[in-house]
Amino acid sequence: MAGGILAALAAIAGLRLKRQMIAAGIATGAVIALLNMLVEFLGARLDVYYVSGPWMLVQTPIPLTVTWLFMTFVFIAGYTVVKRRAPRKSSVTLYMAAAIVAGWLTDYAFHRVGILTLGKNGSPAMIAAVWIIFVPLAIFLYELLMALMAGDRDAT
């Protein structure tokens, strides 16, 4: 959790992100964190997988939710850099693929240490599906929020 917060602060300082980018990135992180809570709740209800940890809230440890928020922000900050410096679509696709693999490997590590356990209806493919959906969804939400904020600015 602390690592995610520090990484987010480093991204804000190092990349000199604009307020609009920061707001859209944090809002995206909040939406993804809440959606993750919903997925983990449904995963437990359907006996797909369970997540354990301190201070459980709706089948999700609060530190994990906070980490989702800030690490999603860091992912979005990286996305803005990739998009700005290497505008080819293949660069963004590779960045997204790397994030999906990194997320899946993180969940595998969580499984190995007992934080994430598969239920009788679960499989590693189902865990991968979360990443395959959430990574592009985060970018979509961020771009949508950026467009909405730009529209608000133009209207004033």
Q: What is the pLDDT of residue 156?
A: 46
Q: What is the pLDDT of residue 154?
A: 54
Residues of the chain short of pLDDT 70, as ranges, are 1-17, 87, 152-156
Q: Pick from 53, 60, 49: which is nearest to 118 by CA? A: 49
Q: What is the pLDDT of residue 22?
A: 81
Q: What is the pLDDT of residue 7?
A: 57
List of residues 6+ apart from 44 with CB closer than 8 A: 50, 51, 59, 119
User: Can you give the pTM of this predicted structure?
Assistant: 0.81
Q: What is the pLDDT of residue 51?
A: 84
Instruction: State whether residue 63 is helix, strand or coil.
Output: helix
Distance between CA atoms of residues 117 and 48, nearest Å = 9
